[in-house]
Amino acid sequence: MLRRRLLYPLAVVLLLGQMAFAMVTTAVQQSPTIDEPVYVATAEVYRQQHSLVYNPEHPPLAKLVMAAGLAFADPELDAPNRVNQSYLGRHLLYESGNNPFELMLAARLPIILLTLLFGLAVLFFARDVAGPWAGLIALALYAFSPDVIAHGALATLDVPAAGFVLVTFWMLWRARDKPRLYLPLAGVALGAALATRMNTLAVVPVALLLALLAPAVFPASGKWRQLGARVLGAIGVGLVAVAVVWLVYLAVDPRLRWTTPATLPHPGGLKGLAVDLLPFPQAYRDGVLIQFVFESRTFNGFLLGEAYRGSLWYYLPVALLIKTPIGMMLLWLAGVITLLVKKWIAALYLLLPAGVLMLVAMTGSRDYGTRYVIFMPMLLAVAAGAVVLIRWRWAWIPTAALIAFVGVSSLLTFPYYLPYSNEAFGGTSNTHNNLHDSNVDWGQDLPRLAERLRTKYPGEPVWLVYKGAGVPGYYGIEGRNPLTVPVDQVHGLLVVSDSRVALARNQLERLLDTSTPIDQVGYSITIYRR
């Protein structure tokens, strides 16, 4: 009996242990992705200068988490005030005498720890819904998710925001039994989500409505008084969330020294009124307006081998179909159906927030990656655990087989989790033919490229078209830009980031058409000979 009791925690430790190993390995091996230098530099400005001036389009909480790790590295920050935030990130990492490897690892490790803690939230949420075996199934899917591993290993905001959303609805689920304890905790988690990314505003109405399903936090007789008590409980959740957002901003700058940029447009109308009515600091409201500016622009996209301008409403569902392990999708589907049939009330706490966030993400203008819907492998992992409610004697056999399929698919892509795609779409090596940007090539492979050029192509002339935030020269990569000289002068190795290949036009397209691919680095950079 004791051995059986020990097997469960041992399985949890093994699942989270392999996930931690995978995330730390990728964090150590990868150069900064495109967004990370801005977040890391902003985090250091928070720590040293207590200023909100940089990266106002995103709230501070996840960057404060990164700052906790950076405190151990204590980097030098000598950039002049009010410079471009992209320049600030590059300067901090590569031009201030700091070690970019140490800084990035220091910023990434707290996010890795947070990702592992969210794994425990997945486990306990699923246990609460359908029992201990459901928790283990959910944790297995979470811990083997290539997307969660890839983005949980980066100093970015996507996994922290999605994780806090998950915890919010877990606390609301528990509030059905103990509202006095868990409704305030739901408010804290909701506030943390709002203080991490602004897209989480979409789940506020859902969270407040589900708070109404919790019993009254104080005794009330009569139908209307009970309803009033429940409404007060929901209002309390909202007030706690608002307070958390304010506390996060005050933690950065207790004096809230923020000035609205003179060039920031105000949309007016209902959209502008909605922003003005948000009960948050001015810096937060202005950040929402900056997001509106981004959403009004037109960006390049790439899907299933076709480049395009603008956004496609079906981009994210297709991208998820490509980048999610097949066994995982089948268990998601089985779990969703089981929930709807066997325990529909739980579906409100899992499928409703996932659906709302998915619909909002599908209306976005940037078709850049499944990181915008990273909440799906979290919430649907919990839903998948509901397959244990299927009362069929041999149901555990296909369930175990699908989990094993997911595990093998995930382990085989190690340590290249960012460019993962499932076997139906050609696997990790073929992702660049179907997707671009953070789905496959986010500028993460400069160290691997440097090693490949040094060991396999020493002394050969290199022409480099790199898309990313890293500085190739720092890694010993000396490459000329082939787009600045006539085509007939480009001879030798042509090294191109796959995101640039996907959107190649004009001279780059001519160069690629007359070159021969000979090698691939990290499944994100292609080497051609010309």
pLDDT digits (tens, 9 = 90+) for 5-14: 788 999 999 9
415 located within any domain: no
Nearest to 186 by CA among 141, 241, 261: 241
Q: Are 525 and 494 in contact (CB under 8 A)?
A: no
Measured over the CA atoms of residue 308, residue 309, residue 312 and residue 315, the dihedral's sign is: positive
Residues 135 and 215 in one domain: yes
The pLDDT assigned to 168 comes to 98
Residues 405 and 457 in one domain: no
Residue 398: exposed, middle, or buried by beta-carbon count in 10 A (0-12, 13-18, 19+)? Answer: middle
Residues 375 and 460 in one domain: no
Residues 364 and 504 in one domain: no
Residues 452 and 519 in one domain: yes
Among 391, 410, 429, the domain-final residue is 410
9 located within any domain: yes
Q: How many CB atoms lie within 10 A of CB 174?
A: 20
337 located within any domain: yes
Rounded-to-integer distance, Cα 140 and Cα 511, Å: 45
The pLDDT assigned to 142 comes to 98
Residues 114 and 229 in one domain: yes
Contacts of 344 (CB under 8 A, 6+ apart): none
In 203-257, which ranges are E strands? none
Identity (one letter) of the amino acid at 43? A
Residues of the chain with confidence (pLDDT) below 50 = none
Angle at 447 between CA 445 and CA 452, to 5 degrees: 95
Token pair recorded at residue 418: 């960012």
51 located within any domain: no
For residue 96, list its beta bridge partners. none
179 located within any domain: yes
Residues 349 and 249 in one domain: yes
The pLDDT assigned to 93 comes to 94
57 located within any domain: no
* pLDDT tens digits, 211-227: 999 887 777 677 777 88
The pTM score is: 0.95
User: Containing H/E element for 112?
Assistant: helix 100-130
Measured CA to CA in angstroms, residue 134 lies from 173, 240, 339, 382, 452 at distances of 16, 31, 12, 8, 44
96 located within any domain: no
Residues 215 and 360 in one domain: yes
The pLDDT assigned to 1 comes to 59
Rounded-to-integer distance, Cα 510 and Cα 40, Å: 37
Domain that holds residue 293: 2-29+109-258+267-297+315-410
Token pair recorded at residue 194: 């709002």
Query: How many independent structural domains does the chain possess?
Result: 2
Among 410, 429, 447, the domain-final residue is 410
Residues 400 and 451 in one domain: no
Residues 403 and 445 in one domain: no
Half-sphere exposure of 395 (CA within 13 A, CB side): 16
Half-sphere exposure of 437 (CA within 13 A, CB side): 16
Residues 478 and 352 in one domain: no
68 located within any domain: no
Token pair recorded at residue 328: 């995982």
Among 361, 395, 410, the domain-final residue is 410
Residues 193 and 329 in one domain: yes
The pLDDT assigned to 272 comes to 87
